[in-house]
Amino acid sequence: MSRTGMHLALLMGAALMLAACRQGADTQLPPVGAAGVAVERSACEGRGGSFRNRGAGILACFTTPRDAGKACRTSDDCTTACLARSMTCAPITPLIGCQEIMTNLGTRITQCID
Report the 10 Å Cβ neighbour count for 11: 10
Q: Which residues pair with 94 in a beta bridge?
A: none
Find the domain containing 91 and state its range: 64-114
46/87 same-domain check:
no
Percent of the chain exceeding pLDDT 70 equals 77
Percentage, residues of the chain above pLDDT 90: 56
In this structure, are 51 and 92 located in the same domain? no
Q: Same domain, yes or no, for 87 and 113?
A: yes
How far apart CA 45 and CA 65 sit, in angstroms, is: 14
Residue 94 lies in a domain: yes
Given a cut of 80, whether residue 89 has pLDDT beyond it is yes
Q: Tell me, yes or no, whether 79 and 40 share the same domain.
A: no
Residue-level pLDDT at 32: 84
- pLDDT-derived band at 19 (thresholds 50, 70, 90) equals low
Structural domains counted in the chain: 2
Whether residue 21 is predicted with pLDDT greater than 80 in this model: the reply is no
